[in-house]
Chain A
Amino acid sequence: MERLGAVSLLKLKMLFNFENDGNAPPEALSTTLDRLQPGDRCEIESMGVEGPVGVRLEELGFLPGTEVRMVRRAPLGDPVVYELRGAQLCLRAREARSIHVRRLLR
C-alpha cells in the first residue's frame, strides 16, 4: 500500500510539473531537453547518458555548450525534432530526458 501511495504521488508531481511547463518560473531555467516546447531554445549543460548511447548522442553533436532549438513534436507526441549544429535530428523522450539544458530567453 505504501508503495502504491508513493507512485501516485510521483505521478501527481509529474503531472503538476508538466502542466506548469508553459509558463515556467525563472528558477526552472534549468530543465531537461524533453520539457521544451516548440520554438524554445536552450544550451546543453550536461549529458546524463553513459555508455554507447551517450557516445552516439555526443558524436551527433549533443555536447555541453551546444545550442538546441526544439522544432516540433511528431503527430503522436513522440519523437521530437531538434535543430542543432545546422541539422535537424529527432530524439525520443526517453533519450532527451537525460540531457540537462539551460533555457535561453527568446
Chain B
Amino acid sequence: MSESALRLGLLGSPNSGKTTLFNALTGLRARVGNYPGVTVERREGSLRLNGRAVVVIDLPGAYSLTPLSPDEAVVAQVIAGEIPEVDPPQALVVTADACSLDRSLLLVAQALRLGKPCVLAVTMVDELHARGGSLDLARLGNALGIPVVGVVGHKGLGLDELRRLLGDPSAWGRPHVLPPEDVEARAAWAASVLDAVVHVRPGRNALTEAVDRVVLHPLAGTLLFTAVMVLFFQLIFAWAQPAMDAIDAAMGGLVGWMHTTLPAGFVTDLLADGVVTGVGSVVIFLPQILLLFSVLYLLEDVGYMARAAFVVDRVMGRVGLEGRAFVSLLSSYACAIPGIMATRTIPSPKNRLVTILVAPLMTCSARLPVYALLIAAFVPATNVWGPLGLQGLVLLGLYLAGACAALLVAAVLKRTLLRGEDIPFTLELPPYRLPPARLVASQVWGAASAFLRRAGTIILLVSIVLWFLLSFPRSEAPAGLSESEAARHALEHSAAGRLGHAVEPLIAPLGFDWKIGVGLVASLAAREVIVATLAQVYASQDEDASLREAVRADPTFDPPTVAALLVFFVFALQCMSTLAVMRRETNSWRWPAFAFGYLLALAYGASFAAHRVVATLS
C-alpha cells in the first residue's frame, strides 16, 4: 500500500441507516477500536474502487456538528483532523433518512459548510415509497449542488451508483451558495430546499403506530416490558450455562492435558495454572457476552430498546439517571463488563459515569458460586412459606441488597460529586425495522472481539502475577504430607499466603482469619476465585461437597462471620476485569480507583455492621 488511500468519512444522525450503509460498502472487514484518548468507538473499513484504495470511516452517530456529547465532539475533531494519529477524511458521505429530511438537512447544512467534498446518501427510500411519499432526488442534488443518491443499504439498491461516485471526490461539485450557520436560518433553508423537491410527504408509519399502541400501552406495555426483561435475564443467566460449562470443561481438560503431557516443572505450571486457568476464567463469560449482545443489539436495531428506556425512564429519573441506564444495570446482573460496555448508549457523560460506577453493585454471576457455597453450608434448607425456602430467600435478599445499593449510590452521586445535567434527556423512537442479520452479527462481533482482546492482554498479565503470588516463594514441604496437605503448606507460605496473614489484623473485626484473607486477595482477580482458593487452603481438592463440609467444620465460620462474608461480597469490587474495563471506558485510572475505594469502604462498613448484628442476635 504505497499509494495513500482515499479517506471517506461517513456522517449521519443515529438511526439514519449509516451503519447499514457502512456494512454494505465495506462488508465485514471493519477494524474496530477506540480513538486515542477518548472512549468513543472507532470503526474503519477498507475497499477498492476503480483500483483505488479507499478507507471508509464510520463516524459516531451525531445529530449536529455543534458538539454536546463526547461522540459528537469526536465527529467534529476527526473531520477537522484534530485527533493525533487519525488522518482526517478528505471527503464526506452524509446519510439522511428519506422520511425525516426536515431534520436531517440541518446536519447536511453543517456538513456543506465544512468545505470538503460531500455526497448525500438518502437512505430508506423504500420506506418513503411504502408510506406514499415521493421525492425528486435529482432536483435535491441540484438544489444542494452536490451528488445525491437514493440507497437501501441492506438490499444493495443504489450502491453501484454510490460506489461509482465515491472513487473520485474531485468530480462531485460544490454548493453554489453555502447554507447559513445559525440553526434557525438553517431550518428555513432546509424548508425552502424541501419545498422545491418533495412531491408528496410520507404518510404516518402505520405499522409503527399500530405496534406502539400495544408496546407503549400503559398496561400491556408495562407487562411486555417486564416479560422482555425477565426473558433477557433468563437468557443470559440460565441459557448461557451449557456453553459456559462446556468451555469450563474444555479448559479443565486442557489444564489436565498440559500437566500430563508437558514436562513437569515451572513453565508447565505457569502455563497451565497461571495462563490457561486465569484467561479461561474470563473466556468462560464469552457465551454470556455473545448472547447478551446479540439480544441487546437485536432489540436495539428492531427499535424496542428505545421504547424500553422510554417506559422505565420515570423510575430511573427518580435517582437522577435515565431510561437507558436500566438496560445497562440489568446486563450487569450477568456481568458488570458488558453492563459497563452497554453504557455507551447513554449520551450524557455524567449519567454514563454514574451508571458505570454503580454497575458493579448489581449481583453478577461471578458472585453466585460464592453465595452458593456459603448458603449451602450455613443456611438451613427449611421451607419458610409454601415452596419458598430459607436458602432461596437469603439469595434473593442478597440480590435485592445489591440492586437497592446501586440505586441509592446513584442517587447520592447525582446529588453530590456528579450533580447537574450536561445534556437534556432526549430519546428518539425510531420506526420498527427488521435489521439485516449481518448488521447484528457485525455489532456482536465487535463487542466480542473487544472482550477477547482484553482477555488476551490485561487479564493475561494479572493472571500471571497472581499465579506468582500464589506459588512463590516455594517452600520445602515437610516429608510425609499427602499431596493435598503439601499444596496447602505451599499456599500458606507463598506470597499470597503471607499477604493473607498480613491482612489478618485488618479483617479480624469482620471475623475473617488468614484463610479468608488469602481468598480475598486471590478474589481480586475474579470473585469466584475465592472458592477455588479456599478449596486449596482446606486441602480439599475440587470436590464441592467436601469443601462445604470443611468450612462447616471450621470454627472460624460462625454465623456472624458468614453473614459478614456474604455482605462483603455484595459490595466489594473484587474484579480486575471490571476495573480494566472501567479504565478503558472512562479513559483514566481515577474512576476505577474511586469505585474500588468507595465499594471497599462500603463493603467493610456493611460487613462489620452485619457481623455485629448477627453476633448480638445469636
**Residues of A near any B CB (own CB < 8 A):** 49, 52-53, 55-61, 63-66, 71-72, 74-79, 81, 84-92, 95
**Residues of A with C-beta under 8 A to B202:** 86
Do A78 and B317 have beta carbons less than 8 Å apart?
A: yes
Do A91 and B184 have beta carbons less than 8 Å apart?
A: no
Q: Mark B59-96, 1 if CB is under 8 A from A, else 0.
A: 00001101010000000000000000000000000000
Q: A81-B429, A89-B427 are in contact. Are A61 and B102 (CB under 8 A)?
A: yes
By Cβ-Cβ distance, the 8 closest A-B pairs, closest first, are A86-B100, A85-B102, A59-B64, A76-B314, A85-B103, A88-B429, A90-B427, A75-B218
Q: Which residue of A lies closest to B102 (CB)?
A: A85
Q: Mark B171-210, 1 if CB is under 8 A from A, else 0.
A: 0000000000001100100000000000000100000000
Do B63 and A59 have beta carbons less than 8 Å apart?
A: yes
Do A91 and B221 have beta carbons less than 8 Å apart?
A: no
Q: Which residue of B lies closest to A52 (CB)?
A: B68
**Residues of A with C-beta under 8 A to B313:** 74, 78-79, 90, 92
Do B428 and A88 have beta carbons less than 8 Å apart?
A: yes
Do A55 and B310 have beta carbons less than 8 Å apart?
A: no
Q: A59-B66, A59-B183 are in contact. Are A53 and B100 (CB under 8 A)?
A: no
B299 contacts the other chain (Cβ, under 8 Å)? no
Do A86 and B64 have beta carbons less than 8 Å apart?
A: no
- In the bound assembly, the distance between CA atoms of A53 and B421 in angstroms comes to 9
Q: How far is the CB of B426 from chain A (nearest CB, A)?
A: 6
Q: Which residue of A lies closest to B201 (CB)?
A: A86
Total number of A-B contacts with CB less than 8 angstroms?
A: 106
Partner of B68, one of A55, A84, A86: A55
- In the bound assembly, the distance between CA atoms of A90 and B64 in angstroms comes to 18
Do A58 and B310 have beta carbons less than 8 Å apart?
A: no
B381 contacts the other chain (Cβ, under 8 Å)? no
Do A87 and B100 have beta carbons less than 8 Å apart?
A: yes
- In the bound assembly, the distance between CA atoms of A86 and B428 in angstroms comes to 11
Do B100 and A58 have beta carbons less than 8 Å apart?
A: no
Interface residues in B424-461 by Cβ distance below 8 A to A read 424-430
Do A79 and B68 have beta carbons less than 8 Å apart?
A: no
Do B317 and A87 have beta carbons less than 8 Å apart?
A: no
Q: List 11 A-B contacts (CB under 8 A).
A: A52-B422, A61-B106, A65-B187, A74-B216, A75-B221, A79-B425, A86-B97, A86-B102, A91-B426, A92-B313, A95-B424
**Residues of A with C-beta under 8 A to B97:** 86-87
Do A76 and B103 have beta carbons less than 8 Å apart?
A: no
- In the bound assembly, the distance between CA atoms of A41 and B486 in angstroms comes to 80
Q: Mark B217-255, 1 if CB is under 8 A from A, else 0.
A: 111011000000000000000000000000000000000
16 further A-B pairs in the complex, CB-CB below 8 A; given A84-B103, A85-B100: A55-B68, A57-B426, A59-B64, A61-B102, A63-B184, A65-B187, A74-B314, A75-B218, A78-B317, A79-B314, A81-B216, A81-B429, A86-B101, A89-B426, A90-B425, A95-B424
Partner of B423, one of A56, A75, A90, A92: A56
Do A90 and B66 have beta carbons less than 8 Å apart?
A: no
- In the bound assembly, the distance between CA atoms of A88 and B431 in angstroms comes to 8
Do B311 and A74 have beta carbons less than 8 Å apart?
A: yes
- In the bound assembly, the distance between CA atoms of A103 and B63 in angstroms comes to 27
**Residues of A with C-beta under 8 A to B400:** none
Do B183 and A63 have beta carbons less than 8 Å apart?
A: yes
- In the bound assembly, the distance between CA atoms of A95 and B421 in angstroms comes to 12
**Residues of A with C-beta under 8 A to B106:** 59, 61
Partner of A74, one of B101, B184, B310, B428: B310
B315 contacts the other chain (Cβ, under 8 Å)? yes
- In the bound assembly, the distance between CA atoms of A53 and B428 in angstroms comes to 16
Q: Which residue of B lies closest to A77 (CB)?
A: B314
**Residues of B with C-beta under 8 A to A61:** 102-103, 106, 187
Q: A63-B184, A64-B184, A81-B310 are in contact. Are A72 and B216 (CB under 8 A)?
A: yes
B520 contacts the other chain (Cβ, under 8 Å)? no
B99 contacts the other chain (Cβ, under 8 Å)? yes
Do A90 and B68 have beta carbons less than 8 Å apart?
A: no
**Residues of B with C-beta under 8 A to A91:** 424-426
**Residues of B with C-beta under 8 A to A53:** 421, 423-424
- In the bound assembly, the distance between CA atoms of A85 and B98 in angstroms comes to 11
Q: How far is the CB of A84 from chain B (nearest CB, A)?
A: 8
Q: How far is the CB of B508 from chain A (nearest CB, A)?
A: 48
Q: How far is the CB of A94 from chain B (nearest CB, A)?
A: 8
**Residues of B with C-beta under 8 A to A60:** 63, 103, 426
Q: How far is the CB of B353 from chain A (nearest CB, A)?
A: 17
- In the bound assembly, the distance between CA atoms of A89 and B221 in angstroms comes to 18
- In the bound assembly, the distance between CA atoms of A40 and B314 in angstroms comes to 22
**Residues of A with C-beta under 8 A to B424:** 49, 53, 56-57, 91-92, 95
Q: How far is the CB of A4 from chain B (nearest CB, A)?
A: 25
- In the bound assembly, the distance between CA atoms of A86 and B216 in angstroms comes to 19
Q: Which residue of B lies closest to A47 (CB)?
A: B184
**Residues of A with C-beta under 8 A to B102:** 61, 85-86
Do A90 and B187 have beta carbons less than 8 Å apart?
A: no
Q: Which of A52, A78, A88, A91 has the most CB of B within 10 A?
A: A88
- In the bound assembly, the distance between CA atoms of A92 and B426 in angstroms comes to 8
- In the bound assembly, the distance between CA atoms of A88 and B307 in angstroms comes to 11
- In the bound assembly, the distance between CA atoms of A78 and B430 in angstroms comes to 19
**Residues of A with C-beta under 8 A to B427:** 79, 89-90
Partner of A86, one of B66, B99, B183, B422: B99
- In the bound assembly, the distance between CA atoms of A72 and B213 in angstroms comes to 9
Partner of A92, one of B187, B317, B422: B317
Q: How far is the CB of A61 from chain B (nearest CB, A)?
A: 5
Q: Which residue of B lies closest to A54 (CB)?
A: B424
- In the bound assembly, the distance between CA atoms of A26 and B370 in angstroms comes to 67
**Residues of B with C-beta under 8 A to A86:** 97, 99-103, 202
Q: Which of A53, A75, A84 has the most CB of B within 10 A?
A: A75
Partner of A75, one of B66, B68, B216: B216
Q: Which of A72, A84, A90 has the most CB of B within 10 A?
A: A90
